Structure 1
Amino acid sequence: MAKFKTRARAVDMLGRQQIANVSTAISELFKNAHDAYADHAEVDYFRSDNLLVIRDDGIGMTKADFENRWLVLGTESKYTAQNRSIDTYRPSGKAERAVMGEKGIGRLAIGLLGEQVLVLTRAQRADGLHDLVMCFIHWGLFEIPVINLDEIEIPIRVIREDKLPSNIEVGSLVQEFKKNIELLERRNIDYDFGHIVKDLDDFQVDPENLQSFLSGISLAESSGTHFYIAPANHTILAEIELDKSNNKKDFSKYLLGFCNSVFLENTSPPIKASFRYWPSDSDNDDLLSDGEFFTVNELNNADHRVFGEIDHYGQFRGSIRIYENVTEDYIIPWKESGGKLTDCGPFDIELGFVHGNQRESRLDPADWKRLSDKLNLIGGIYVYRDRIRILPYGNPDVDWLEIELRRTKSASYYVFSHRLIFGAVKLSRQNNSSLKEKAGREGFQQDKAYRQLKNILMNIFNQLAADFFREGGERAEYFDARKKELEKLELARRKREKQVSTKRKNLSASLDGFFQRTQQGIPNLEIESIRSHVKHRMDSAAKITDPDEAAVALLDAEKEANRRLSELQESYRIARPRGVGLSRQLQRDWEAYSTETQRLESEIFRPFSEEITRQLGNVATQARIYIDQRKRLQSLIKELADSEKKSVRNEAGKLNNTAEDTRKAATKVARDAIHELQNTISKVEAEFASKDFNGLSPEQTEQVRKDFETRIETVSKKNTESLSRIRDVLTSVAENMTTDPDITQIDMMEAMDEELETLREQVDTDADLVQLGLAVAVINHEFEAAIKGVRRSLRELRPWADLNSNLAPLYQEIRNNFDHLDGHLNLFTPLQRRLYRKPIEIKGSDILHYVKTLFDVRLKRHDVKLSATENFTDMVAHGFPSTLYPVFVNIIDNAIFWLKDMQGEKQIKLDSDGKSFFISNTGPGIHARDYESVFEQGFSRKPGGRGLGLFISRKALRKEGMDINIVPSDSPAGVTFKLTWKDE
């Protein structure tokens, strides 16, 4: 008699060689976690150590489970030969889950993730929590062709304490595995085990230490299964870095959407998966975070949405939304059923479709761009069985329904594009048991059941295109009309945006040039040049002996001075573009420009004009030249009147020309509309005259009539609507001119455009504020809870430190560091508004103590001196600490930032005049242009600044009847903020 023998490499062939890539291998372990009733499956990849840690909080395995199921090939651990589920433990309160893993591929696929794995598992059963089981495997042994499977021994340890093993205990287990290798070498196997032995010596994993670092899921006091894989497969890092560099998601696309919570689901997913990439030990990036996959909101906002049920005979019944128009109880028959039940079984489908051209989409440009980018990366039709994703369906490079193949034949006929669809087919093991997955997790076996599934879905897409999107389709009228409307709106928006963008750009450039000239003191230099020239001319006039000629020369000098001054003033005058809303930054710059022009007028231009008049009088008096003031004023007034008359006539001429051009354009549009309709009528009449009606049935005759009438009505309707729109615009302009010519449509458009720009900017900033506030609240809560635990542990540790001289210094160091952290936690206390129902007395000395405690380390590090006057420490104000303290924190934080890289004195000073607080620093000054801008939301001169601190500070203060402003100063260095209170 003979028996089959199994080589160890069979494990490698059944596992590692069956899996397409590392992402699929991780997905298999996620499925195992799902089957183990885990709530979370988490992966952490540490680049510095090339370590992969995979953890779940499922029911885990006992030692017997591990030996008799996990380490057994072809086990019946989940299904019996009759395809009945084995009675396994299910935690109370959890719904029964369909089993995803059937062939044991998941555990064998670990070999693809890395050469060595440390397995930790702790079981939860009806009798309670079991002991921790630890195992170590080097998959390299399963690649050796001359070893039988029964020659490999896997070391297992049971840890009875409620703790994780340390690196010492792990090292001891690895040494046991090493003994098995030594035994194989003694059997004279012709193989070099050197690289395996080296790997074992290099394996350094400390689960106890890693748990304290990662926190979250733990086997110390709860169940689950954890894998520590090192060194990890080098392709993991390569693919993650490639994803980061080109943003193609070739790695994460296999893991995104692992559990369905979007398509036809309204309950929380049974398991949440995450993959954290640690480029360094201080920060991480979750590749599977919320928002990386599609969301219900995106599905609701898609241009078109389809969802429905396919019954046992392959017939679709569901709801179709084309833009905003919904068709309920829509049926798509599948003619190939032949009245027989399908092998694939009944299933559900839901999908969203977004147009590739933004002008055809109902989404606004920003949302369309964001969703289109996501579709390019992960768009497609996914497949879920009992809410768990079946690979590789849904990946952009897997067009399993041949949507793109059909589209290449005719885009207008087949409409749908694989990269513009996101949706899912929803299966269940109960209804779709005939659909079998391939051993390598590369989709379903292509048998009759799969072919039926594919054929039914292809039929749905073809019929949807025929009914709703093709020209002449039974239900395509709404789509065609709405698409044309959207295209028209988008073209108008782009045209206006192009015009507006150019105007904003030109205005911004003009304002920048204006501020550059004023900051460099150019107006004063130009006035000085005019002054010098005029003085020279007046002095020359005074030397003329003929009194009449001298008087004329003086008046000419004055005229030239006024002309050049007028030209100079005009060079600093900027026309605000009409009908264009300004962004917040441009609004701030425009307001600063208005303020600065008033200053130029009051401090430079007007004084110079008055100076010219005085100088004229002085020169005339000294030279005894008679100036006829009547003639002088008459000449000046006439010159101004001629200039203004010319300006008004110029604008009036332009208006007349525009009105004439508009009249001609309107007349031409009306004439063309009449001509087009007349030509259509003539063609219809000619065709009617040549039409042979002999032999036509009444129905055919009626159809001919309808066709002719439709052609005439279509042209008439199009031109009527076009002429009506133009008439409405002109009527509105005319009415507005007669009722209130000072407020035109352009003014109203400008106001709406400006409001729109403000709202756009506000949305992003408000989202940042909300996230920031939530994050601070969560951090404070978690920090406070953790501190309590540490405080309790320190109290328990102190008696040991008092009795152990070696432990005492370590305890004291921990205690000092803890007190430092605890002090920072206490800094949150004044910021909690709920602790203060009424305003309280706030002393300057309390504020000083608070900010010194908070910034002590930074002040010393950057050599910045923080001081306060006696007036400040004695000052007492009434208010909420949660309002006042953050203002000081924000201003001092900013001051340190600007002072840290400066040379010379670095000082922050707190002062008071008994009514207000003053916060000064010796850093760079703030230009008068920005005195109000720094308090605007989003404004910041700090590199990478959010522009929120001072905005929030002023808003919070004003809510409590206080305010904050900058004390004006001509000095280029130093700035002082002033906090004021309303009168009690």
Structure 2
Amino acid sequence: MANFKTRARALDLLGRQQIAGIPTAINELLKNAHDAYADRVDIDYFRMRDLFILRDDGMGMTKREFQERWLTLGTESKVKHRKSLKPRVDETKSPRISMGEKGIGRLAIASIGKQVLIVTKAKNIEGITVALINWQLFEIPGLNLEDIAIPVQEFKRFPEKSDIDSMKEQIIQSLTKLKDSDELSQGEYAEIKSTIEKFDICPKKFNNKLIGKFPWEKPEEGGTFFYISSVDDILHSDIDGNSKAGEATKIEKMLMGFHDTMTPKHPAPLLEIVFRDYRSDDHEYKDLIDKQEFFSVDDFELADHHFEGNFDEFGQFKGMVKIYREKTFDHIVNWRGNNFNPTRCGPFSINFAYLQGVQKESIVDAVNHAQIYAKSKKFGGLYVYKDNIRILPYGDSDYDYLEIEKRRNQWFGYFFSYRRMFGVIRLSEEFNSELKEKAGREGFIENKAYRQLREILKNFFTQLAGDFFSTDESSPSPKAEIWRAKRNEIKQSYKALEEREKKAKERKKKFEDALNSFFISQKEDSLPETIDKLLKDINLDVKSIYSEKDHDIASQKLLDIESRSRQKIDNFRKSLMIPAPRGFYIKGELKRDYETYMEEMERLDSIVFSDAYKKIDEIVEFTISDLAISISKRRRLEQAVESISDQAKQINVEKRKSVTESVTDINKRVKSLTSELMIDLDDQIRLVKDKFKTVSISSEKDIDLVATRNSLSAEINSVSERNTAILDALIRQLEGIYWEKDANNNYITNEQITNALGDELEELKERVHTDVELSQLGLAVSVIHHEFNSTVRSVRASLRDLKAWSDVNEQLEGVYNNIKINFEHLDGYLNLFTPLNRRLNRKAEDIKLLEVKTFLIDLFKSRMERHNITFKHTRGFARAKLRGYRSSFYPVFVNVIDNAIYWLNDSGEKEKVIRLHADKDNNIYISNNGVGIAIQDRKKIFELGFTRKENGRGMGLHISNEVLESVGYKLELDEPREGSNVTFKIAVANENNG
């Protein structure tokens, strides 16, 4: 009698060669963790160590369970039979539907790497089971399963390197036997032996270093760890993806959305999954399963359209359709594909959202639309979940299993795009048991149940497109009219806003150009030259009077010259005037520039222009005295008033003319529009009447006459309703023209109100964005606090140890002090942002400023020498001291000097100098002769985020000032000292300022 024999290659064929790829293999391991009632799965991939680790906190396995379940293929966990193994259940948790069936998941490990170390502990059982498997052996032709040795051992503690080395030796011994019996060639033997010997790891030590602890100290704790080495290089490209921006990588496509987390009221995820990719060393990593990258409930609810409901056992849909988040319909979609007989696929539910592809057709604001659209490009699609576990590859944006994009290309009027929809199809083992996954996890087996599922969904989307999103106006759907009308309304509003924004941008550009021109003229100091030239012209005009012998004529000429001169100064002042922003909102740097301009104009008025007017008065008074002519003060005043009045009248006449022309133009356009609308309506009525002539009443049935009447009246009503809507909008605009005089005789217009509301809206938007950023920063900082707490304690302990050494070793003293100061600096910064609830063990002390300079020389010596920068200090600086913490003051000096070096190097100066000085009040001055700071930047340099440095972050001066203020000092920009262009001052803060 003969028997089947199983070659070892059968495992390779069923596992590595069967599975779709590494991402799918990882997904299978996640499903195994789910079946083991795990709550957490941590994945750590160390590229430099060629090591992939997956850990879960599931039920784990005893040695017997590992041998009878894990090492046994085709276990009967889902087959009801007296010999079947009972499903493993954690009675402390809610029951879970098992996702594994064929044992493919464990074999899929071979596609990740060539060998795996498995460390597992069963809950409530003592003892840790360890096994080492080399998958290369299963690729060798001619070997039977019984020829391959798999060391399995049980320990009372976590395994160490010596334990693993012993197991490696067992495999190598079995290899040697296979080679000696000619089952392995010398080349095969050498290659596999080399792989085994390279596996150099101590699980105990390595496990203590990993982030995210899985303690096994207590009996009730357990789990399973996989240490996979000689990782396949394809994993790098699966993680990194290609160079196309915005495209999801294979890992992201397969592992994002393991549970449904996007739909409102979704089931609570059973597994918390982390995938850390250590690219260079064992400290810095990237989390590949970033929840922020995937769709959230907020994204779902923000989308334009929503569809939710159930398909019954006959394939008929009944549910809700919401268009533009406003109009909700109870909707039914029939399917006749199975002649209303029960389907093989069974009942299921659907819930998905849809985003209009063009922002000007969407009700989603621009920022959120861009974010959701970007996510849709990466992760858009309909995800299939069975008992809240994702079934691959459904949901992959490249796997259009419902052929939505195909129909979109073939049918011009087809609405849906696969990448713009995101949502879920929910299945369950209870009702959809005939939908079975392929062995390679490439979707469902294409049996009758799956074909019915696809046909039901294809029919569903086709019907939805026709019922709600048809663009065919010849046979309009009443429900589609809702979408078309709202879309047109949004497009028109968007167009109006676009036009308004275009004009606002033009105004804003002119405003910015005017500000820049003003600051350039200030920088070039051309204003005094212009004033001087005007005054010289006045002097020349006055000298011409000296030749006039008639005193009355001379008097009048002098008055005329005075009037013209004042007018010239006024005109020049007006040329510098920049009107307040109208029709656009200024913020941030531009707003600060405008405030600086206003301050500068106030200064010019009080000094420059005031002096110019005084000089004109002096010239006139001197001329009167010199020529001994008599001019009445009343006459001078009267002429001045007349001149101003004439000018004011001229300006107002011009504006009145412009207003009258605008009113005439609007009146003309309104009349033209109303005439055009009436003509359109008249043409439509004539067209309908012409159609009516062709209708044969005698041959039509009554029901057809009603339909015809409705159709003809609808054509007239559509034009009438359009005209009415336009005219109503026009009336609202005209009625919106508003003005009113207030108690101070000032007029308030609707434009001022609109601008004020616009400014308030923009400020609120900015505040919302700031609040969101701050909340995100707060979350990040809380993580930093949590992760750094133990690290900070460890560094402090090491510093204490190093202090003991430095006390007996002079060479170490400088190193210790440098590390201590920089650590306190870092710790001080962390204290600014986190509620660490701890006191630093540091004491205030008298700090000699020469010690500060020595520290700065040590730090910047090489850079200063490289850029030929001289570092000087005064006697006052040498005598002065600071009272406080070195870690508070040193970083401030470092930041200011670092900035000085940068701008000195950028200045092109031959003799570059940084000078330190202190006065008798212990105010400290740091000066340099590099690039000066522009007028408009004087206040901004201390604001967070402001910088003129290329690739700068604008944080240094802001944080420095914050640190100083926390210890009673302040950092400010002072007037440049002699020989310098920039001077910073460190001074004791004014008590009134807190």
What is the TM-score when the length of structure 2 is the normalising length? 0.83
Of residues 635-644 and 314-323 in structure 1, the stretch that sits farther from structure 2 once superposed is 635-644
1:814 shift after superposition: 13
Bigger mean CA deviation after superposition, 732-741 or 525-534: 732-741
Tell me how far 1:759 sits from its aligned partner: 2.5
Q: How many angstroms apart in 2 are the aligned matches of 1:890 and 1:793?
A: 23
Which stretch of structure 1 is more off in the superposition, 483-492 or 211-220? 211-220
Q: Aligned residue for 1:230?
A: 229
**Using a 3 Å threshold, how does the CA distance of structure 1 residues 99 and 819 change in structure 2: closer, same or farther?**
farther
**Residue identity in the other structure for 1:775:** A
The 1-side partners of 2:590 and 2:843 are apart by 41
Asked whether the equivalents of residues 871 and 911 of structure 1 are also in contact (C-alpha less than 8 Å), the reply is no
Residue of structure 2 in register with 1:249 after alignment? 248
Given the alignment of the two structures, is residue 239 of structure 1 paired with residue 238 of structure 2, yes or no?
A: yes
Name the residue aligned to 1:134. 130
Task: Tell me the amino acid that sits aligned with residue 278 of structure 1.
Answer: Y
Asked whether 1:473 is paired with 2:472, we answer: no
1:203 to 199, 203, 225: 199
1:334 Cα deviation after fit:
2.4
Q: Which moved more, 1:369-378 or 1:487-496?
A: 487-496
The AA in structure 2 aligned to 1:142 is F
Distance in 2 between the 1:889 and 1:692 partners? 98
Question: Which of 973, 976, 979 is the equivalent residue of 2:982?
Answer: 973
1:750 is aligned to 2:755: yes
In structure 2, relative to structure 1, the CA distance for the partners of 1:567 and 1:676 (3 Å cut) is: same
- Check 1:227–1:340 CA distance in 2 against 1; reply closer, same or farther (3 A cut): same
Report the alpha carbon displacement of residue 350 of structure 1 after superposing the two structures with TM: 0.8
Shift of 1:815: 15
Give the aligned partner of residue 576 of structure 1.
580
Q: Deviations over 1:833-869 (max 9, x none)?
A: 8989xxxxxxx985989x9999999997458999999
Alpha-carbon distance between aligned partners in 1 of 2:798 and 2:891, rounded to the nearest angstrom:
35
Q: Alpha-carbon deviation of 1:425?
A: 1.0
The within-5 A match list for 1:660-671 is 660-671=664-675
Q: CA deviation at 1:142?
A: 2.2
Question: Amino acid of the residue matched to residue 749 of structure 1?
Answer: T
Residue in structure 2 matched with residue 71 of structure 1 by the alignment: 71
Q: Secondary structure at the match of 2:736?
A: helix
Is the contact made by 1:259 and 1:387 (CA closer than 8 Å) also made in structure 2?
yes
Question: 8 Å contact 1:964–1:979 — kept in the other structure?
Answer: yes
TM-superposed CA distance for 1:607, in Å, is 1.1
Task: Classify 1:935/1:582 alpha carbon distance in 2 versus 1 (closer, same or farther; 3 Å).
Answer: same
Higher mean C-alpha deviation, range 243-252 or range 278-287? 243-252
Q: Which residue of 2 aligns with 1:396?
A: 397
Confirm or deny: 8 A CA contact 1:306 1:320 kept in the other structure.
yes
C-alpha displacement at 1:460, in angstroms?
1.8
Which moves more between the two structures, 186-195 or 284-293?
186-195
Q: Which has the larger displacement, 538-547 or 648-657?
A: 538-547
- For residue 2 of structure 1, report the CA deviation from its aligned partner: 3.4
Structure 2: tracts of 5 or more residues without a match: 806-811, 862-870, 905-911
Question: 2:373 matched to which residue of 1?
Answer: 372
Q: Does 1:770 align with 2:775?
A: yes
CA distance in 1, matches of 2:656, 2:428: 77
Aligned match of 2:658 in 644, 654, 660? 654
Q: Secondary structure, in 3 states, of the residue corresponding to 2:407?
A: helix
Q: CA deviation at 1:292?
A: 1.8
Q: In the aligned structure 2, how far is the partner of 1:963 from the partner of 1:432?
A: 71
3-state SS of 1:307 partner:
strand
**Please, which moves more after superposition, 458-467 or 374-383?**
458-467
Map of 1:54 onto structure 2: 54
Quote the residue 1:122 is aligned against. 121
* Range that drifts further, 430-439 or 322-331: 322-331
Question: Match for residue 6 of structure 1?
Answer: 6
Q: Is contact 2:97-2:429 (8 Å) kept?
A: yes
Aligned to 2:510: 506
Q: Which residue number in structure 1 is paired with residue 347 of structure 2?
A: 346
Query: What's the CA shift for 1:426?
Result: 0.7
Residues 1:680 and 2:684 are matched in the alignment: yes
Return closer, same or farther for 1:787/1:650 CA change in 2, 3 Å cut-off: closer
Give a deviation string over 1:587-624, Cα, whole Å, max 9, x none: 22211111111112222222123224324544675677
Instruction: Name the aligned partner's letter for residue 94 of structure 2.
Output: A
Contact 1:37/1:58 (8 A) holds in 2? yes
| Residue of structure 2 equivalent to 1:606 | 610
Cα deviations across residues 233-257 of structure 1 (Å, max 9, x unaligned)? 2122223333576331132111110
Amino acid at match of 2:719: V
Whether the 8 Å CA contact 1:558–1:612 is kept in 2: the answer is: yes
What residue number does 1:176 align with? 170
Deviations 1:378-398 (A, max 9, x none): 111111111111111111111
* Inter-partner Cα distance in structure 1 for 2:267 and 2:853: 47
Matched, 1:90 2:89: yes
Task: Indicate the SS of the match to 1:61.
Answer: coil
1:597 aligns with 2:601: yes
Question: Against the structure 1 CA distance between its residues 23 and 107, is the aligned structure 2 distance closer, same or farther, given a 3 Å change threshold?
Answer: same
Residue in 1 aligned with 2:334?
Answer: 333
Q: Per the alignment, do residues 305 and 539 of structure 1 end up closer, same or farther by CA in structure 2, a change over 3 Å counting?
A: closer
Q: Residues 577 and 263 of structure 1: is their aligned pair in 2 closer, same or farther, counting only changes over 3 Å?
A: closer
CA distance in 2, matches of 1:207, 1:890: 42
Please report how far the alpha carbon of residue 79 of structure 1 lies from its aligned counterpart in structure 2 after TM superposition. Answer: 3.0
Q: Structure 1 residues 909, 701: closer, same or farther in 2, change over 3 A?
A: farther
Aligned letter for 2:975? S
**Residues 861, 343 of structure 1: CA spacing in aligned structure 2 closer, same or farther, 3 A cutoff?**
same
In the alignment, does 2:141 pair up with 1:145?
A: yes
Structure 1: stretches of 5+ with no match in the other structure: 803-809, 837-843, 875-883
> Distance between the aligned counterparts of 1:244 and 1:34, measured in 2?
34
User: Given the alignment, which residue of 177, 187, 203 partners 1:192?
Assistant: 187
Structure 1 residues 676 and 827: alpha-carbon distance in aligned structure 2, compared to 1, 3 A threshold:
closer
Query: Structure 1 residue 317: deviation in Å?
Result: 2.1
Deviation (angstroms), 1:671: 1.6
Distance 1:140 1:347 in 2: 43
2:936 corresponds to: 929
Match of 2:953 in 1: 945
Instruction: List aligned pairs for 1:391-430, cutoff 5 A.
Output: 391-412=392-413, 414-430=414-430
2:419 counterpart letter in structure 1: R
Structure 1 residue 699 corresponds to structure 2 residue 703: yes
User: Hey, what's the Cα distance between the residues in 1 that align with 2:816 and 2:845?
Assistant: 29
1:967: how far off? 7.0
Structure 1 residues 37 and 919: alpha-carbon distance in aligned structure 2, compared to 1, 3 A threshold: farther
Which letter does structure 2 place at the counterpart of 1:46? F
- Provide, for residues 195-223 of structure 1, a one-character-per-residue CA deviation record: whole Å limited to 9, x for no partner: 33333343333434433332214365342
State how far apart, in whole Å, the 1-side matches of 2:827 and 2:13 are: 56
Q: Secondary structure at the match of 2:44?
A: strand
Q: Is structure 2 residue 363 aligned with structure 1 residue 358?
A: no
User: How far 1:897 sits from its partner (Å)?
Assistant: 5.8
**1:879 — aligned with what?**
none
**3-state SS of the aligned residue for 1:482?**
helix
Shift of 1:687: 3.8
Provide the rounded CA distance (Å) in 2 between the counterparts of 1:277 and 1:131.
31
Change (3 A) 1:608 1:394: same
Q: Structure 1 residues 75, 131: closer, same or farther in 2, change over 3 A? A: same
> What is the aligned length?
941
Please state how far the C-alpha of 1:27 moved relative to its aligned partner: 0.9
Residue identity in the other structure for 1:722: I
Match of 1:516 in 2: 520
Q: Compared with structure 1, are the counterparts of its residues 74 and 710 closer, same or farther at alpha carbon in structure 2 (3 Å cutoff)? A: closer
SS in 1 for 2:291: coil
Helix, strand or coil: the match of 1:336? coil
Once residues 757 and 239 of structure 2 are traced to their aligned partners in structure 1, the CA distance between those partners, rounded to angstroms, is: 45
Query: Structure 1 residues 823, 477: CA separation in 2 closer, same or farther (over 3 Å shift)?
Result: closer
8 Å CA contact 1:783, 1:825 repeated in 2 = no
CA distance in 2, matches of 1:340, 1:528: 99
Residue 806 of structure 1 aligns with which residue? none
Query: Partners of 1:321 and 1:964 in 2: how far apart?
Result: 58
Deviation at 1:23, TM superposition (A): 1.1
Q: Partner of 2:152 in structure 1?
A: 156
Kept in 1: contact 2:240–2:249 (CA 8 A): no
SS of the residue corresponding to residue 87 of structure 1 reads coil
Match of residue 805 from structure 1: none
Please give the per-residue CA displacement for 1:261-318, whole angstroms capped at 9, x wherever unaligned. 3347534211122222223333222121112221112111211111112222222222
CA gap 1:60/1:973 in 2 versus in 1, 3 angstroms: same
Cα distance between partner residues in 1 of 2:782 and 2:216 = 29
Q: Secondary structure at the match of 2:461?
A: helix
